Amino acid sequence: MLTLVAVAMLVLVFIALIALTDGAGSGLAAWSTALGAGAVLAMWRGRRRTGPARLLPLLPVVVAAALTATVCVPTVPTARRHPPALPFVATQHWSLATGSRVAVYHYPPANSGTRHPVPFVYLNGGPVRGISVLDHRFLQLLARQGYDVYAYEQAGGGRSDLLPMGQYTISRSVRDLAAFIDRLDAGQVDVLGFSSGGVVLTRALADPSVAARMHRAIVAEPGPMDGPTARITGHKGRESARGLAPAVTGPRSTHVPRYAVAFGLMRLGLLTPDTGLIGQAEGDNAFTAADLGSDTASAYCARDAHRIPAEDTAQNFSFSPAASLRVQQTVKDAPSLAPLLRRSRTPTMLMIAECSSQARQWATAVLADDPAVRRTQLLPGVGHRMWNGLDDNDARAAAVITAFLQDEPAPLPNHPTRDEIPTFLRDRE
């Protein structure tokens, strides 16, 4: 029992030193310090013993050394391993004026009849994540309806090149969007921003120099747009499939001691995103779709708990946990966007899901502060992942989008309006 307690204490000291040293030297600084101190203490305890008994106090040190060494040894490549090319669309790489080199996907209009002259740009969620196969299928649907569709994976996500960790900020994401539109060199564009992509788009609407590049904007299921909004706690949409869906299967990096410690301490704020424990590329390579766990289920309605589709393939999945945390922190640190957003003039639509896992106030804050929001569409029967391949959900989401872009009557009631926000929140819709 005393041996087990000693081993546990040494492991806890090691983890505490990992946090104090920010994982310096891949954790070896904490490892050598903890085990060195343990060895000295063990030798002091055995100083009065004779023969082999003098070495007995070292047993917990040896066991703890073996256990904690697993946290210091990489089990995946430490150089970035990009997903392989997709079989149905070419991957282009564009160097933007900001210095970012991003992976770009282009779906030309596939409808020989109706062709819309304004290019359509998609900003996926993440914040630093590859575009899922579900998203690609939805973009193909829009292209079949005559839209000239472009999407790019934000710097550090998917097949895009990494940035130095300190350069991942929400303001950099906005500048990259402006640079991408400039690189298109096709005049104004329509932009759809989903989830964290909706945050980038909202902040772009508050910047007149970026907003001037946009014809129309669609903010779908946005996260918090600034620090004050991020601190809001409120209800979410109708019940999601979180806790109801079968557990996600597949390998998890969090079952490996090295990445369980690294990602766990980062999530708790005890390690910085640019920690010395694991590099950015190694963390990206290690993280798997199963690591998202119940986050995937929370993007679907409770009624869909037992038929949640595969959002992505294992080969295409890419998520940067450290860079995403870094971007999210810059949002939390940002001052109120409301004074700038109130000057927005770009025609905008807000899309909200019935079973959204996002706080309702994140969306209603955009509606309340952006005078250019012309309509709100509350999509019934879907969760945060509004286009998901189930039933006619993709077609319904596309109908809402195309009606707004073509300035046609909305297929759903305009709800909630600004005046309805208090009632909408009170009734917990």
Q: Is 425 exposed, middle or buried (0-12, 13-18, 19+ CB in 10 A)?
A: middle
**Exposure pattern of 86-101 as b/e (b: 16+ CB <10 Å)?**
beeeebeebebebebe
Rounded-to-integer distance, Cα 389 and Cα 382, Å: 11
pTM, two decimal places: 0.93
pLDDT bin (cut points 50, 70, 90) of residue 136 is very high
Tokens matching residue 157 = 């996500």
pLDDT of 47: 66
Q: Which of 31-35, 57-61, 105-109, 163-167 shows the lowest mean pLDDT across its residues?
A: 57-61
Is 80 exceeded by the pLDDT of residue 50? no
Does residue 89 carry a pLDDT above 80?
Answer: yes
Phi, psi dihedrals of residue 362, rounded to the nearest 5°:
-65, -40
Q: Tell whether the model's pLDDT for residue 112 goes beyond 90.
A: no
Q: What is the pLDDT of residue 173?
A: 98
Q: Is the pLDDT score of 341 beyond 70?
A: yes
pLDDT score recorded for residue 330: 97
- Res 305 pLDDT > 70: yes
Mean pLDDT to the nearest integer, 297-320: 94
92 has a pLDDT exceeding 90: yes
Residue 337 DSSP SS3: coil
**Which residue type is seen at 105?**
Y
Band (pLDDT 50/70/90 cuts) for residue 59 is confident
Q: What is the mean pLDDT of the chain?
A: 93
**Residue ranges of E strands in 39-170:** 92-95, 101-107, 120-123, 149-153
- Tell me the chain's radius of gyration from C-alpha atoms: 25
CA distance 264 to 283: 12
The residue ranges of DSSP E strands in 319-397, in sequence order, are 348-355, 373-383
| pLDDT given at position 239 | 93
Distance CA 202, CA 350 (A): 10
pLDDT tens digits for 376-392?
Answer: 999 999 999 999 999 99
Mean per-residue pLDDT, 271-289: 95
Domain ranges within the chain, ordered by starting residue = 2-69, 92-248+292-426
Position 44 pLDDT exceeds 90: no
Q: What is the pLDDT of residue 111?
A: 73
Quickly name the fold that domain 92-248+292-426 has.
Answer: Rossmann fold (3.40.50)
Give the pLDDT score at 242: 92
Burial group, residue 181, by CB count within 10 angstroms (0-12, 13-18, 19+): buried
Alpha-carbon distance of 266 to 260, in angstroms, equals 10
Give the model's pLDDT for residue 48. Answer: 65
Is there a contact between 137 and 122 (Cβ–Cβ < 8 Å)? no
Sequence letter at residue 294: S
Average pLDDT over residues 120-149: 96
In the chain, the percentage of residues whose pLDDT exceeds 70 is: 97
Mean pLDDT value across residues 324-338: 97
Residue in 28, 285, 291, 320 with CA at minimum distance from that of residue 165: 320
* CA separation, residue 94 to residues 44, 88, 98, 143 (Å): 62, 19, 11, 21
Contacts with 331 (C-beta within 8 Å, 6 or more apart), sequence order: 170, 199, 223, 224, 225, 226, 227, 230
When mean pLDDT is compared across 18-22, 164-168, 293-297, the lowest value belongs to 293-297
Say which DSSP state 366 is in.
H
Q: How many CB atoms lie within 10 A of CB 83?
A: 18
Tell which phi-psi region holds residue 23, choosing left (phi > 0), alpha (psi between -120 and 50) or beta. left
Banded model confidence at residue 81, pLDDT cuts 50, 70, 90 = very high
Higher pLDDT pick, 6 / 163: 163
Q: What are 105's strand-pairing partners? A: 151
The pLDDT of 251-269, averaged and rounded, is 92
- 51, pLDDT greater than 70: no
